[in-house]
DNA sequence: AATTTTATTGTTATATTATTACATAGTTAC
DNA sequence: GTAACTATGTAATAATATAACAATAAAATT
């Protein structure tokens, strides 16, 4: 297992910063638009930073929405094991950090007895406000 | 809850047919290429069929791969509650049908006591062959 | 049967999301 | 200091998905 990188590069900091300031997931091109004043002009600059940030667990990708959200788990140890609840009305997204759930899922065995320590789970429904 | 539709339209049949013949998930434009000999020439024709087939549970979308796979569960009752294992090496995808897992997940309550009967879970790892 | 409504189709164009490729510069390890 | 690696800048393009509109066809209502 590769050691987690301890510092962030200039572009990675800029991209992480903008994502952390958003309560909700951000799309790549929205991030791009927001960081243009900081000198990041082209998609690859953003996508490279996103790739790295996902890899080290600072952010997560919400696959069903093609959007990126900052990890709020103190230690970001669950970069590979993520769970979210998504409101289908207002698109509010919350990361779920339940050790019970993560234990259950990392211990889950399929029919061939195989286990997985990497997974992504997205729950859909209506949030409190929208219900 | 809306009644499930009992028949498929011409284009829906064509698209479903090609997906069912594939052991692995298919991408939309690969489907498009394959159905051009049957007269479906433009992306919207394929995407509309895909949307409908997903809605009625005949196929599922593998969100992390932007690809579509036929549902192999007899009754297709779990259109809203899907789980897959994905091999990160050969990209082999298998639908997981475990009533234990689906019960666990549909009974899962988040910190606010909220339950979700709709979810998508994608497990990642190496399949038998690739391990 | 005629009307109305709903679902489906065909088509063009375009929007959105993401990557390739290549040149350059900075950092780290030896 | 040089080699190896990591990050950056830039242009071009690939891949994924939707909007908008006109036309048909099928189903439901009268």
Task: Please report, for chain B, the start and end positions of each structural domain, with discontinuous segments joined by +.
Answer: 10-125
Interface of B with A in 50-109 (CB under 8 A): 63-64, 80, 85, 94, 96, 98, 101, 104-105, 108
Per-residue model confidence (pLDDT) at position A83 = 95
pLDDT digits (tens, 9 = 90+) for A16-48: 999 999 999 999 999 999 999 999 999 999 999
- The CATH code that applies to domain B10-125 is 1.10.10.10
Query: In terms of CA atoms, which chain B residue is nearest residue A126?
Result: B116
| CA B102 / C1′ D16 distance in Å | 30
In tens, the pLDDT along A64-83 reads: 999 999 998 755 566 789 99
For residues B40 and B46, give the distance between their C-alpha atoms in angstroms, rounded to a whole number.
7
Confidence at B78, pLDDT banded by 50, 70, 90: low
* CATH no., domain A10-70: 1.10.10.10
Instruction: Kindly determine whether residue B125 and residue A108, on different chains, have CB atoms separated by under 8 Å.
Output: no
Average pLDDT over residues A47-58: 95
Confidence of residue B2 (pLDDT cuts 50, 70, 90): very low
The gap between B7 CA and C2 C1' (Å) is: 27
B118 touching chain A per CB within 8 A: yes
- Asked if the model's pLDDT at residue A2 lies above 50, the reply is no
CA–C1' distance B113–D14 (Å)? 44
pLDDT-based confidence at residue B74 (cuts at 50, 70, 90): low
Match domain A81-125 to its CATH number in 3.30.1490, 2.30.30, 1.10.3470, 1.10.357: 3.30.1490
Provide the residue count of chain B: 131
d(CA B68, CA B84) in angstroms, rounded, equals 12
């Amino acid at each position: 297992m590769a050691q987690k990188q301890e510092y962030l590069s200039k572009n990675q900091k800029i991209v992480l910063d903008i994502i952390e300031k958003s309560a909700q997931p951000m799309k790549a091109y929205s991030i791009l638009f927001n960081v243009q004043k900081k000198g990041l002009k082209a998609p690859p600059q953003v996508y490279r930073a996103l790739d790295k940030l996902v890899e080290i667990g600072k952010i997560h990708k919400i696959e069903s929405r093609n959007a990126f959200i900052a990890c709020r788990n103190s230690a970001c140890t669950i970069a590979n094991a993520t769970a979210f609840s998504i409101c289908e009305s207002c698109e509010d997204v919350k990361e779920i950090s339940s050790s019970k759930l993560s234990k259950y899922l990392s211990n889950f065995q399929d029919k061939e007895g195989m286990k997985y320590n990497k997974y992504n789970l997205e729950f859909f429904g209506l949030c409190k406000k929208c219900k």
